[in-house]
Amino acid sequence: MKKITVFLYSAVICLSFTIGFAQSRRVAPPTTDTNKKVNRREPQPVATPTPPTENTATQTPPVDENAEVDNSEVITVDTGLVTIPVKVLDRSGRFVGGLKKENFKVTEDNLEQEIAYFSNEQVPFTVALILDMSYSAKFKAEEIQAAALTFINQLRPDDKVMVVSFDEEIYVQCEPTNDRKVLQAAIKSTKISYGTSLYDAMDLVINEKLKKIQGRKAVVLFSDGVDTTSRKAHDMSNLSDALELDALIYPIQYDTFNEVQAMKNKPVIQQPKTPSPIPPKEKSPFPFPFPTKNGGGMGGVGSMDSKGTTVEEYQKADEYLNELAYRTGGRLYKASTTGNLSTAFSNIASELREYYSIGFYPKDEAEQGKKHKIKVRVDQQGVAVKARDSYSIKKK
């Protein structure tokens, strides 16, 4: 009996020791328990929004009417917003800066609209620089390039430029960028060639390029306005699209009529397939009228098709370029020498620094495809307001 008692006592002591030892070795539970629910709270947005890129669509938070415009970024707006570039001038024709949203009023079809978007003259522009490089160009390629390079160097550092050139084909030399080295290389890569697809080039820029870009925009078009090889678009489709475009269009027009008539009256010389004994200086520099790259389009090499040479076509070109400027609130410049070509580019660069942008959402009953009258006013005395006077909503 005594032995049994001693045995039980020893067993109890051993069991107590084992339990104590096990507790001292217990491992703390892991910090993350895979069986527990993950915290579903969404991360809070960053306080400073990232400016949108050209090819990325972003959503815009509701506009705070008391918030000041941040000049460091281009504001993203809803595609339903009608945006109007506005220039305010005093009696001496000088730009009136420093105005705010509350200084402006806008009406659509005589009904006052709430201004939902405003940016001052310091917000950067995106400019589409479109260069006509057809054989009818009055200027040499080097002269066109030099004037264009001067233009981009006069823009502000944050302004972006897209370079597009065209002959029969259309070339997007670079997408919008403020990298001056990229822009210089893009401009220098342009070359004179055959054909003139002006309407197709404008269609591409308006409907496929600029509509994807938010913020303040402008088009600078260097051309004589005569089209000979467009296949997709025409002058009236361009002018209709211009009413829906929230960008200024600045055509720089050069007159090539006399040069074209002189070339037209030269005898047409077919270029021989074998070397010719005729000295090169006695040959026509290229067959007239300007052939397309595949030898067609205007009657082919050596044909006397008169497309792009008549008085009527030059009158049409003049009306076309004037209407592009008028419908968008831009301005037409004439260039007959390299001097006033450079001056035109310089004046445009200066004007782009003198525009406000205001926007409103169209009234619910705004009819698609219909032209709507708009009027912009400011509460300042003795000033003139320059802005487009109409817009239309594209039919879906």
Position 286 scores a pLDDT of 40
- Number of domains the chain is built from: 2
Indicate whether 299 and 319 sit together in one domain: yes
Rounded Cα distance between 148 and 223, Å, is: 13
Radius of gyration from C-alpha coordinates of the chain: 33
Indicate whether 224 and 87 sit together in one domain: no
Q: Among 256, 190, 195, 267, which Cα is nearest to 230's?
A: 195
Indicate whether 360 and 317 sit together in one domain: no
Indicate whether 136 and 178 sit together in one domain: yes
For the segment 340-395, what is each residue's pLDDT rounded down to a tens digit?
999 999 999 999 999 999 999 987 555 666 788 999 999 999 999 999 888 887 66
Rounded Cα distance between 56 and 43, Å, is: 21
Angle at 157 between CA 151 and CA 158, to 5 degrees: 110
Domain-located, residue 77 = no
Whether the CB-CB separation of 290 and 228 falls below 8 Å is answered with yes
Which ranges constitute the DSSP H helices of the chain? Answer: 2-24, 141-154, 180-188, 198-204, 235-244, 257-264, 311-328, 338-351
- What are the phi and psi torsion angles at 106 (to 5°)? -135, 135
Indicate whether 117 and 255 sit together in one domain: no
Whether the CB-CB separation of 245 and 210 falls below 8 Å is answered with yes
Domain-located, residue 20 = no
Domain-located, residue 147 = yes
Q: Which residue has the tokens 């400016």?
A: 51
Q: Are strands 248-253 and 216-223 parallel, antiparallel or unpaired?
A: parallel
Whether the CB-CB separation of 44 and 334 falls below 8 Å is answered with no
Whether the CB-CB separation of 300 and 176 falls below 8 Å is answered with no
Indicate whether 383 and 310 sit together in one domain: no
Whether the CB-CB separation of 299 and 318 falls below 8 Å is answered with no
Domain-located, residue 60 = no
Indicate whether 317 and 335 sit together in one domain: yes
Domain-located, residue 90 = yes
Domain that residue 215 falls in: 125-354
Whether the CB-CB separation of 361 and 81 falls below 8 Å is answered with yes
* Structure tokens that stand for 62 in this block: 């509701």
Position 57 scores a pLDDT of 34
Burial 370-387 (b: 16+ CB within 10 A, else e): eebebebebeeeeeebbb
Q: Are strands 160-166 and 170-177 parallel, antiparallel or unpaired?
A: antiparallel
Position 81 scores a pLDDT of 85
Indicate whether 345 and 359 sit together in one domain: no
Domain-located, residue 30 = no
Indicate whether 286 and 312 sit together in one domain: yes
Position 289 scores a pLDDT of 44
Domain-located, residue 224 = yes
Indicate whether 137 and 205 sit together in one domain: yes
Rounded Cα distance between 353 and 155, Å, is: 8
DSSP for 292-341 reads: -TTS-SSS-TT----TT-SHHHHHHHHHHHHHHHHHHT---EE-SSHHHH
Position 45 scores a pLDDT of 40
Position 293 scores a pLDDT of 53
Q: What are 22-29's contacts with CB under 8 Å, separation 24+?
A: none
Indicate whether 317 and 252 sit together in one domain: yes
Position 306 scores a pLDDT of 73
Mean pLDDT by 10 residues, the chain (396 residues): 49 46 41 38 38 36 37 40 91 91 94 92 92 84 94 95 97 97 97 94 96 91 96 96 92 90 64 46 40 44 63 96 94 93 94 92 68 92 91 72
Whether the CB-CB separation of 250 and 219 falls below 8 Å is answered with yes
Domain-located, residue 49 = no
Angle at 214 between CA 209 and CA 217, to 5 degrees: 70
Return the CATH number at 152. 3.40.50.410
Q: How far is CA 327 from CA 85, 163, 220, 247, 388, in A?
A: 12, 23, 14, 10, 6
Indicate whether 201 and 315 sit together in one domain: yes
Query: Amino acid identity of 203?
Result: D
**Side-chain-facing half-sphere of 340: CA atoms under 13 Å:** 10
Beta bridge partners of 118: 358
